[in-house]
Copies of this chain bind each other. A is one copy, B any other.
């Protein structure tokens, strides 16, 4: 714990949530390029695509994170999603339909950011980053700007560091979502420019043996669209 940091607004320590996917890898690359000292956090929440946790660990190392931690939380006990419960992952769904699909995990980003907040406070970090994206996203409410703003506000009243900074008239925690207004193609191009090795990322909700992507779930299809529009070859589907 470093309680001396809470008056130092030059603090550049960041916790980056890593899923093992494309978006969170590019998020880490952006924070790193912007001069943040990044620690990464992956969550084992009983997801059927648990192989992504190994990808997260490799991406963390490849992109120069200071430290990687993994926390286990059994969200299967709460039920309610195709990603954790015994509900089929939808294939070839209409992405333009605008509804929230069954792969939505109730309160997932709230739970994950809360854990990132606990990690941040325990190591004296001021910054928290995650790969939320409000354009080419899958219709999840917890990827919208309103959500990020509300979480940042909560973080600053929920914690010792937030309350101590507020007493000095300062907002301590900052939540970063650098991909928020990027298209999937822009995310791919940003990752390419920053040297992200896309072979180290996995996006599929329902992978086969050897983490082979299914090609039909929302996540595979959004990824494919992004690579195609960016004119970049995805090494994971070669």
Residue positions of A touching B, CB distance < 8 A: 1, 69-75, 77-81, 100, 104-111, 114-115, 117-123, 141-142, 144, 146-147, 150-151, 153-155, 157-160, 162-163
Contacts and interface: CB of A to CB of B under 8 A. Distances in A.
A78 to B, nearest CB: 5
A80 B142 contact: no
A5 to B, nearest CB: 13
Given A75-B71, A118-B80, A110 B162 contact: no
Contact of A154 (B73, B106, B151): B151
Given A78-B119, A106-B159, 8 more contacts: A71-B75, A78-B115, A107-B118, A107-B121, A141-B158, A141-B159, A147-B157, A147-B158
A111 B109 contact: no
Contacts of A151: 154, 158
12 contacts: A1-B80, A71-B74, A78-B119, A79-B122, A104-B160, A106-B117, A107-B117, A109-B158, A141-B158, A150-B150, A150-B154, A150-B157
Contacts of A147: 154, 157-158
Cβ-closest 8 pairs across A and B: A80-B122, A107-B118, A106-B121, A73-B73, A106-B118, A150-B154, A111-B114, A107-B117
Contact of A74 (B72, B111, B153, B162): B72
A23 to B, nearest CB: 18
Given A72-B73, A74-B71, A80-B118, A157 B162 contact: no
Contact of A73 (B71, B141, B150, B163): B71
A223 to B, nearest CB: 23
A78 B119 CA distance: 5
A11 to B, nearest CB: 16
A107 B159 contact: yes
A114 B122 contact: no
B80 A71 contact: no
Nearest to A81: B122
A116 to B, nearest CB: 9
B75 A72 contact: no
B150 A158 contact: yes
A141 B162 contact: yes
